Amino acid sequence: MIEDNWALYRDSGFRSPYPPILGPGLYPRVDAVQIRNDDLSSLLPVASRPTVFGAPLDSHILLFEHANFHGAHKHIVAAEANLNASDDNFFSDKVSSIAVLSGEWLFCRDANFINPYRNGLALNKGAYSFVGDALARRIKSLALGRLAPVILSGVSFQGDGSAWERRLDARGGYFR
């Protein structure tokens, strides 16, 4: 749940409510909050106070199959070691646009966070309607955080890049 509080129901038409009111957060297993798996048919935002809170949602990114946020999309809320995993491999080498809702994301050419792009290029909150030829249809895994800032001379993630290093002073800035 990204925001608001939610009542969940067994039947369509908001009949047969489940007891908990879910607040914002991640709920990896519905049975952990007294909801039977594969038994949810409708949900409704409510003004009631939540009776259950999920784990904090600190990171959230949407991957889109085509440029300009078109085509199939996938929500990711934690590091994804392999976009080509056998249980869900649709987005391996198919990402053309990205919406970062929260967190800072690092993209890699290979599974298991190997070969990060552009010496650690990370994207922050924002809408990226086309990731450029350097990334388009070439992402195999993505992680949270960054290795170091990279300043590019061109647009759409093109051009020469120069990595910066973490400054060791109290400001925690970067230097070149």
The residues, any chain, with a CB within 8 Å of residue 91's CB and separated by 6 or more, are 63, 65, 72, 74, 83, 139
Summarised one tens digit per residue, pLDDT across range 17-39 is 999 999 999 998 889 999 989 89
Among 65-69, 132-136, 170-174, the range scoring the smallest mean pLDDT is 170-174
| Domain residue limits, the chain | 5-46, 60-166
pLDDT band at 57 (very low <50, low <70, confident <90, very high): confident
Q: DSSP alpha helices (H): ranges in the chain?
A: none
Q: What angle do CA 109, 114, 117 make, to 5 degrees?
A: 45
Summarised one tens digit per residue, pLDDT across range 127-170 is 999 887 666 677 888 888 754 455 555 555 554 444 444 333 33
The answer to pTM > 0.75 is no
* Residue 175, pLDDT score: 39
Please check whether residue 116 is in contact with residue 147, taking contact to mean a CB–CB distance below 8 angstroms. yes
Spatial separation of the C-alpha atoms in residues 129 and 107, rounded to whole Å: 16
φ, ψ dihedrals at 99, nearest 5°: -125, 115
Give residue for tokens 């925690």. Answer: 172
The residues, any chain, with a CB within 8 Å of residue 46's CB and separated by 6 or more, are 4, 5, 6, 7, 21
* Residue 9, pLDDT score: 93
CATH of domain 60-166: 2.60.20.10
